[in-house]
Amino acid sequence: MTTAQQERLSLGRRVALASTAINVGLAGSNVVVGFLSGSTSVVAAGLHFMGDVLASTVVLIAMFVAGKPADPEHPYGHGRFETVAGLVVGMILLAGGVGICYTSLQRIGEGHPPPSAYGVSTLLLAILVRVVMSTTKFRVGRRIQSSAIVADAWNDAVDILWSSAALVALGLTLYDPSRFLAADHYGGFIVGLVVIFTGFRVIRDTSLELMDTMPDADSLADIKRVALTVPGVLGVEKCFARKTGLQHHVDIHLEVDPEMTVAVSHAVASQARKRLCAELDWIADVLVHIEPAPAPDPSAPAPADPVPPSDDLA
């Protein structure tokens, strides 16, 4: 594993560990305060935070498993476990949203005392903490290209929205319990709908990665640009890439002079592989296939001299 990969995984592990610890605290405080204050919205928040504890734990485990080196049964490494963890987080969101909706609707119409005002404090704290966590996870997840951490960041972003909705609903109930007693329960239902929507989004994004969806056009253009800087490369016939955890594996077909010897063309391929991995740190490895270039255009400038064959043909 390269130094860059180790740094990515180390940063991901630290973020996942901090997220798990914070979610434990938020879950416990919201459930306790929600029951004591009699607020459905606050209890719903606490139950959802319990799901967040599970989601963050899944991400943390994924960060450790994804760092295992490649072996004969997993020649591309174990990075896909990180993508699977993102899919699991989406499923947790989906199940949690359904549960919150069901619980909230069950309590609509029930006669009970209005909730206490101090339930507001835990929701305000949750919003503040989630703003910091979501911002940090989005930045780190996109920097290290972690599907699981980005999925967890979406989870936190949704928490901000539904915590705000729960806060408004609880505020209406406290303002006029006789008219808005059920607002607290409707707030919990809205929370559940937002969580369900986000769960579907996370499942969609991670499923696309598991289906080997190509990276964006700019990333593919960067691959071709770097490959064409290698002496002896006359063109790029095909270029495919698939995400395997925090990085991508690339398959590229390079065009070279058809009169070039096998040894020299192999040296060109080797240098292209090394240069791509060195200049684009989001690439884990490259499989290079050599193709004969089509007949040259007489008006085109002469290509650069190819690299000579060397002992290092890895």
Say whether 217-292 and 3-210 share the same fold: no
- C-alpha neighbours within 13 Å on the C-beta side of residue 282: 16
Q: Any idea how long the chain is?
A: 314
Nearest to 100 by CA among 207, 23, 199: 199
Nearest to 234 by CA among 305, 155, 156: 305
Tokens describing residue 310:
């060397």
In DSSP notation, the chain reads --HHHHHHHHHHHHHHHHHHHHHHHHHHHHHHHHHHHT-HHHHHHHHHHHHHHHHHHHHHHHHHHTTSPPBTTBTT-STHHHHHHHHHHHHHHHHHHHHHHHHHHHHTT---PPPPTTHHHHHHHHHHHHHHHHHHHHHHHHHHT-HHHHHHHHHHHHHHHHHHHHHHHHHHHHH-HHHHTTHHHHHHHHHHHHHHHHHHHHHHHHHHHHTT----HHHHHHHHHHHTTSTT--EEEEEEEEE-SSSEEEEEEEEE-TTS-HHHHHHHHHHHHHHHHHH-TTEEEEEEEEEEPPPPPTTSPPPPPPPPP-S---
Superfamily for domain range 217-292: Cation efflux protein, cytoplasmic domain (3.30.70.1350)
User: What is the model's pLDDT at position 282?
Assistant: 83
User: What is the model's pLDDT at position 313?
Assistant: 42
User: What is the model's pLDDT at position 262?
Assistant: 92
pTM: 0.61
Q: Which residues, at least 6 apart from 270, have a Cβ–Cβ distance to it below 8 Å?
A: 288, 310, 312, 313, 314
For the chain, the structural domain boundaries read 3-210, 217-292
User: What is the model's pLDDT at position 314?
Assistant: 42
Ranges of residues in the chain with a pLDDT under 50 are: 112, 311-314
Tokens describing residue 20:
């798990």
CATH 2.60.40.4070 for domain 3-210, yes or no, is no
Tokens describing residue 123:
């929701």
User: What is the model's pLDDT at position 63?
Assistant: 73
User: What is the model's pLDDT at position 113?
Assistant: 52
